[in-house]
Amino acid sequence: MKISLGSRLLAACAATAVLAWLGLRSDATSQDTPQRSLRAEGSSPHRNLQTVESCPAVGETAKIISEGTVELQAAAAGSLCLLVLTDDVKNFLPVARSYDENDWDRYIQTGKVSLGAEMDCTGSLCSVTLPAPYKPSLQYKLVAFEHTMEEKDEIARFLEQATFGPTRDDIASVMALTGSNTVAKMASWIQQQQDSSLTSPSSHREFFRKHANAQFERSSKYGHVTHPCQADVIYRKFALSFKHKGKKLQISTIHNDTKALSIDGLILTVIDGPALITTSPLGFTDEAMADLSTIHTEELTDGSYEICYAPMPGVGAPMKLYHPVHHCSFAAFGSISGNPPIEFPGASLEPSRIVNLDQATDLVPMDEAYFDTLGLPAQILRSPTALTGDACESVKMTAGYVPAVFGSYQNEWWVHDPRWQFRDNTVDQPMADGGGEVLNHTKGMEFWHTSRCANVERNFLNEDSCYMTTDLNACSHHDHHHQLLEPGEYGRGVVVCGSPGEVANDISLGGLTALGAFDFVTQKSDETSSFQDLLDQRIMVWTSLAIWGKDQLRQRVAWALYQILVVNQVISRNSQTEDWVNYYDIFVRNAFGTYKDVLKEVAFSRMMGEMLSFHYGKSQGFQWVRKSEAGTKVLELADENFAREIMQLFSVGLYEMNVDGTRKRDTDGNYIQTYSNDDIMEFARAWTGFWSSKRRGNSVAQNGNRLDPMTVVPKWRDQFPKMGLNGKYIGDGYPLCADLPIHDFLKKGAKYILLGYTPQAELGIKDPNRWASEEGQERFAAAEDGSLYDILCQPTNETDPTSCSFPPTVVLTENIDCTGDECLVDHIRTVNVREKVYYEYVRPACVHEAFFPEPKKIKMRSWSTYKNKYMCADPRTDVASAACCLEQGQSIYAMQNDTYWGERFKYSTAIERCQEMKTIDDDVDMCTSSGDMFIRRGFMPYHAKQFYWFGDVACDLKVKIDSVGKIAVVHDIPGEDYGGGMQNLMTNDDTMIFFRAQWSDKAQAISLFNNCDSTEGCSTTTDGYCLCNVLATESAAFNSTPTREQVLSDLTIGAFDPDVYDHDYTQTSADNVTIYELNGALSEESIFEVTDDFGVIQRRKNIIATATIAGSTLSFRVPVQFMSIAEPTKRDALYETDAVLDHLLYHENTAPFIAMHFAQRFGISNPTPTYVRAISEAFRSGQYNFSDGSSTMSFGKGKYGDLSATVAAVLLSREARSPLLEKDPAHGSMKETIIKVISVMRSLEFTTRPEFPFPRFYKSMQHRLGQLVYEAPDIFSYFNPTSQPDGLIGRSGLVSPETRIHTTPTIMTLANGLMNMVKYGMDRCYGGLGLTRNYHGIGECVYRKMGHFENSSGYLNFTPADVEPSAMVDELATIMTAGRLSSANRQTIVDAVANETNATLSSIKIRQLILTTAEFHTTGSIEKTEGTRSLPEPEEEESSNSSGTSSSSYKAVVYVMLKGGADTYQFITPHTCPPQDNIRRQYDDVRGSLRMTNSERNLVINALNQPCSHFAVHENLPILEELYNHGDLSWFMNVGVLNRNVTKYNYDDLTRTQLFAHNHMQQEMQQVDPYDQMPRTGILGRAVKTLINKYSINSAAISINKPSYAVNGDVRDDDAPLPLVMSEDGGQSAFDRPPTETFDPTSYIDKLNGPNTISSSLYGETWSELLAKSIYENDKLTNDINAQSAEGSGAVTCGAESLNMVVKLMETRNTRGVDRDLFFVDFGAWDFHENQPTHMHDATLELNDALTCFVNYVKQKGLWNDVTLVVSSEFGRTLSGNSNSGTDHGWAGNSIVASGALYGGKMHGKYPSFLKEKNSELALDRGRMIPTMSFESMWAPVLEWLGMDSTDFN
């Protein structure tokens, strides 16, 4: 029987239909949960003190404290006092603490107990108000502890934080440092680590490049290979190399059994004897040949045979050939089994090119250690010096290839083994030729083999170290095709620049491809390594430096920074190692720099540009103009992806914070959001225009240049004002360009950059190429007898002014006088200093006003259309030239009067220039015609293309207003040009480029829009907006001296340094304000100077600029913008980008945001406000001072955001260092999974084998452990910093981010992997983590022996100092647990090895056992109690979260989340709609190019009570159409997270959910508890609890692959089971081992992880509980699934593995004893910010396959009527696309519910009737639809079907 969904639907947010069980309240103003109902943080509590309480003495009984206001005495010296909420049984929830006579402090993330205000401390007393406990059994108590540590353990604890794991040598070296105490020694160690002269930074890119010694046979775009006779050339003894993989080996008989082996026509060797293959899996080994009856050998006839795999290096090393019958088989040649030697018997067979290697005196054998393992003598020789001979002279590269050259050495044959060559091209030492020599060397070859110029474009990383080279081979980054210019006085005038970490490879390091020499992909795919090999290289680099890098603190800081600023594998072509390690080097390089440096490099990284889809992004204005000119006006706004995440994840976070990290609250007690979606839309426009730097050589740039910072394309950049946070425009505080002083290029602070041979500006206005390249063009030149010339030339010889040094950058330190033509110009762009030597003047940062007084019309003549373009301009700016006329008319010639071609100046100067021309004719005047004009320079015709000119024509500025008060700039220009001129389309009256305004009365502005035509001076435009006349004015802000606060808050227009002006200012000071006045009085020209809260000097002009609606009192503040609409430049785009970064960096949130993240990444999950404040203050001041009582050490350079100071504060603050806090159960953390692995390898002295010189993991550690560098699951990194796990930590209201990835699958992988690493080394057997050496299949694993590492690719080489068991335990306890290992656990381990007589095995067993303990996996103190922790046996029938037995029939719900925000409005689209509304047309208009085309609307379904009678299902989702038409599927339309009914005018005020953010919206859709009535519980978890407790129905909630909020139960229930997580791969055997291995660690695990005292570390207790749970769940579920498979359930090969695992678990329902299963699965990645059509096509095909397979699989099992499938996404997407052909985060979407048991074939909820923002109350900007149905309404019928009564949730 089917149940109707419609009969059980709940009206969205209806007051009479509340879903209390689901967490929804009808009253939005009702009381909040405890953490939301308290007063704003930072306010002082009411001091109505009742009593003074002191802590009991250590060892005394805990003291009970009553709720209410109490005064607490600080802890005594040497003790820790905790205020806890406890029941003395299970709960010991920390509330606050005092230690060592310090003030009381609380925990920032406390949830159950929120004090609401900081403790009010005076002297040694602190007052606090304690609310009533959340359950009766809990009491407040004070309890005291004491704790000390040995110095070695204290240092090990420090090194746990500061390195990737303490080693014996590290501990000893810190102990040996000079210091008055242990912490002082730590401070000294930090100083050494931060001083690069003492500890050299380990660059990941340098490491990769130095080892990039792979074999290559030909050059490529990136560079070339070694010549056979150059220095460092390599020769090999074996015939076949890795590069021959996949090639055809030709076997040809010369005579009898003599055969030639050749490839591509080149004979490599001649062998004596047959060529054979064998079918033996062991090849031609002694073991294989011992029983010839079991193998087959066959002689190969002459012919061509493919080389199957890369031949192993070395004579006789294994190799395989493809045989048409036997396929890939081991080969042998003559007497050699495997790779043949190079032999040429007889002079007639010798090659033509032979080098006599015997003449070389310094040949060096290479890779000896590797060949020793094969029992071979030297197989590779390197000649450190160049070789000579006729063969050397004859070698010429042809078509990119190096001709084969053979060598003769000691009567043996060798062959040149060409290797790749990188050259040094670092920032400090750029290549003198810019790569020109290599380019010339390969020039004329095939396109793919001609190298590119390697010269790096100038950027903010290298600009101060570029120089002009005299090398005549030099090529320029301006011209990568290397068109040589004639040399001049200073060579070719080429400026060369380098790149960080771009070092040469070091061939002397040796290594072979995949065996220590890194490979890479070229554009002709010359690589030999597999994709996985290439992918692993970046991880090998990271792991090597994490283990062996000497700069451990730098590497650890880099890891912390990377986890904040993640890029992952969503980037295409992700196998290019250099791209990844170069990105990571941002953090290595800047680990002790400033966070501004980090954030800027990340923002300009193409890797991040691709990750967050702003690379290649174009502005709305550019797209509007481009498509309007093409006749297709389409609204495409900027991609919002990076704008959102740089705020949420990289800088300011979601909620406003105090400096101590506590969140601010509004008057209602709600957290204050840092930004809104409107903020994101504005910021998004600032991240347009980014594009890759040019591709170049000497680096791997196969998919474009991902190495150098991105550049900005000015015409792609949004040119209009952008309002940032808190009503401040980006550009507020900057001076106006209109205020630039005359001759600004000669004033203090003027900056110049060296251009070299080209006069074309790099940053400023681009002139026509013809002007830049042709001789004879008039250009501005510095007067040789002037100061500017001297400063730019900087002669190296005082007596010779022409001996110029030409510095790369010059900044004037004072005003200088003009000379000659310098005095005639207002402004310059580039300046000629000597022949072919130019500098560019980089105008200082300034802003333009969007509305300005007395606008003037400017025109530009276009050669392409022979039409004028025109717009309004600010007459006070240098924006145009002058048009001077003898006559006025419609079509006339005008004249220019300029000093150099293309000179721009102010309007006042334009008038003067025309006046000067009266010497030619008295009638000359500025042109007043609006007609078509042709420009002459003097009497010489010259069409004025590409720059504007002034005429004496006024124009009007108007403002266009939308329905929510946003505005657009409109230029109203009188007259119409003859010949059809064209206004700048961005400022035409149909513009749609809206931005926010700061209105005097926003409500009045919206009212004006609604009553537009009745307002004087306003009218409704044809597109439905309101267009009004506007008047811009400026007036003095203050008539008397303002306060510092008034200057910063009321004055928004900045000012230049008063010293740059010719007029004299008088300077006075008053109350931290410096005043600069003219004529001794305040005026509009006055300047105020103050220092802001961040230590930055701010100069503000004493003016307020206002734009007033004509005929009205309504006004708005004049917005400012960096970009000139007339002539946008790269310079101004870069200035604007810097301003955006500063806007975010200098925000009150950024310091505590970074402080919180750093505290957590360095091992303290729940930092106190005091600790966060200390870190924040170090970040803000750039200084941290450490005192040991007798002396002070200073860290940092005093610059805001200094990370060296920040890190010192993190590591040296008392909260980080006090040993007492080991006894605080809330102090410390669960360690990161990957750090556990690396720490074992580092601390236990991991050693590699010669053939595997770098550590390499087996399979992805991200998939297996939940964490691996470069493979974070998404931009949110590996875990949420506010994640609260179930169990004790969650009940404490604390966070533990790392616990989130400690699931059953990852815990079992980690435990098995670490144990096996200790026993067998890096090996894949029995769940091992590493590659196996000579792996032949899983069958060989049974032969593994503990302590035998011959099969491993690396092993732990730790040897104990003392082999006595207790001594070994103590030593290992220090380096593996920082001495935390409890005395009880130490004794248990000693007892476990008491009978082991072999010291090596004893040590290995001890390590195994320590690796299971909470003390290893977490930080914090553990104390054991009697007994063992209960471990359920696998054969028990009851599930871990089921109860009893019942007769209820089986039912299952499968909740599938389409992760990332699926565009579900593309899943189902309007098809047939009434003409009066025509939703289909609206849909098509709004969606634009993203709309579903008519041909794609083939899957049509009917609909009732919807605005359309028929809808179309996406053509790639036929399963949805099929189920709907069959009555098994229902659509839920316009559904989403909803607190109450809202409109677009009030949603921001009334919605309490953090909208549009992935993590928050995903959490909300899984919890379905928008009012947090049951915090952190999930919809499925609560359902399970109700079904079990109320209905006695055995139920289980299971999440596939990873934890989910959906399955969380009631965390307030002490007995609530922890949610179950199952891997889609199934389980794995726990601690499996060979049958001969008798030591079983499981017999000790329950004791080592047994019951702890109630005051033990919360993290330690959580680990032990999770481990016990994981072992049980893993064994139980694995056994159940295996048993079911044994009964005949076949493997399913279609669909999604996660959904297939769901069905497998359903089949185990009887053995698990459950009647209800509730599964959660997240599926896919749907965040398509770019190229949505392609991504959507692929994703929907994948989804359809997964759902089709799942439905068929369930039906096959006869379960379709017992299963309900719910498919939804956290939010929908914008209906309108962005400029990257993608969509951005929306709100409402469409969901489905499918089942054989529910009546389907219906649509519930309502598809919106209006989709366009201006017509709809539900459509926010860009078609973000407000939901009309809540998720709760969708879930109600599903829950009732499960067996719950409506009273449970109504």
What's the pLDDT score for residue 1? 52
**Residue type for position 163:** T
Single out the residue of 84, 79, 90 nearest to residue 110, CA to CA. 84
Nearest in space to 1595 (alpha carbons), one of 1701, 1760, 1444: 1444
pLDDT number for residue 889: 61
Q: Tokens at residue 499, please?
A: 């790149």
pLDDT score, position 635: 82
Tokens of 144: 């005291």
- In whole numbers, what is the pLDDT of the chain averaged over residues? 88
Structure confidence at residue 47 (pLDDT): 43
Greatest CA separation for the chain? 116
- pLDDT at position 487, please? 66
The more confidently predicted of residues 541 and 325 is 541
Mean local confidence (pLDDT), 1071-1087: 94
Burial status of residue 769 (CB atoms within 10 A of its CB: 0-12, 13-18, 19 or more): exposed
Q: Do 992 and 967 form a contact (C-beta atoms < 8 A)?
A: no
Scan for tokens 């930055």, then name that residue. Answer: 1096
Choice among 101-110, 281-290, 577-586 with the minimum mean pLDDT: 281-290
Distance, in Å, from the CA atom of 783 to the CA atom of 787, rounded to the nearest integer, reads: 8
Strand partners, 1186: 1193
Structure confidence at residue 114 as a pLDDT band (50, 70, 90)? low
Place of tokens 């392609």: 1734
Mean pLDDT comparison of 101-110, 197-206, 284-293, 1634-1643, highest-scoring range: 197-206
User: Does the pLDDT of residue 102 top 90, yes or no?
Assistant: yes
Could you tell me if 1733 and 1421 are in contact, meaning their C-beta atoms sit under 8 angstroms apart? no
Token pair of 416 as six digits = 């040149």
pLDDT of 756? 94
What number is the average pLDDT over the span 1165-1185?
97
Does pLDDT of 15 surpass 60?
A: no
From CA 1321, how far away is CA 1240, in angstroms rounded? 11
pLDDT band, residue 1441 (cuts 50/70/90): very low
Distance between CA 574 and CA 569 in Å, rounded? 6
The answer to whether residue 42 scores a pLDDT higher than 70 is no
Question: What pLDDT does residue 761 have?
Answer: 94
What are the b/e assignments for 1515-1541, b being 16+ CB within 10 Å? bbbebbbebbbeebbbbbbbbbbbbbb
Q: What is the pLDDT of residue 248?
A: 95
d(CA 1298, CA 1284): 10
Residue type, 1664: S
Which residue bears the tokens 């002669």? 795
Average pLDDT of the segment spanning 649-676: 93
Contact status, residue 1071 vs residue 1044, Cβ threshold 8 Å: yes
pLDDT category of residue 24 using cuts at 50, 70 and 90 = very low
pLDDT attached to residue 1244: 98
Q: Could you tell me which residues come within 8 angstroms of residue 1474 by beta carbon, excluding any fewer than 6 positions away?
A: 1507, 1508
pLDDT in tens, 876-889: 999 999 988 887 66
What local confidence, expressed as pLDDT, does residue 116 receive? Answer: 46
255 vs 1269, more confident: 1269
Pairing, β 1819-1820 against β 63-65: unpaired
d(CA 8, CA 22): 15
pLDDT at residue 836 above 90?
no
| Beta bridge pairs of residue 105 | 97
3-state secondary structure of 463: coil
Q: Is 1438 exposed, middle or buried (0-12, 13-18, 19+ CB in 10 A)?
A: middle
Higher per-residue confidence, 513 vs 1426: 1426
Tokens of 348: 């007639």
Mean pLDDT in residue range 1779-1790? 93
Least confident window among 371-375, 554-558, 698-702, 1069-1073? 698-702
CA-based R_g, the chain, Å: 37
Nearest to 1251 by CA among 542, 529, 545, 368: 368
Q: Which helix (H) or strand (E) holds 469?
A: strand 467-469
* Distance from C-alpha of 1746 to C-alpha of 1738, rounded to nearest angstrom: 12
DSSP structural state of residue 402: P
CA distance 683 to 866: 37
Which residues lie below 8 Å from residue 1155, measured CB to CB, with a gap of 6+?
A: 661, 1167, 1172, 1173, 1175, 1176, 1179, 1206, 1210
Contact 458, 466 (CB under 8 A): yes
Annotate 705-732 with three-state secondary structure: CCCCCCEECHHHCCCCCCECHHHCECCC
Alpha helices (H) in 774-906, listed in sequence order: 787-793
- Cβ-based neighbours of 1656, under 8 Å, separated by 6 or more: 1225, 1420, 1421, 1422, 1423
Reported pTM: 0.94
Range of lowest pLDDT (772-776, 1187-1191, 1740-1744): 772-776
With a CB cutoff of 8 Å and minimum separation 6, the contacts of 265 are: none
Reported as a pLDDT band with limits 50, 70 and 90, residue 865 is very low
> What is residue 1494's predicted lDDT score, i.e. its pLDDT?
85
Which has the closest alpha carbon to 1168: 102, 303, 360, 310? 102
Quick check: 479 pLDDT over 70?
Answer: no
Q: Where are the beta strands (DSSP E) in 1459-1498?
A: 1468-1472
pLDDT score at 1189: 86
pLDDT in tens, 1407-1423: 999 999 999 999 989 99
State how far Cα 1574 lies from the chain centre.
33
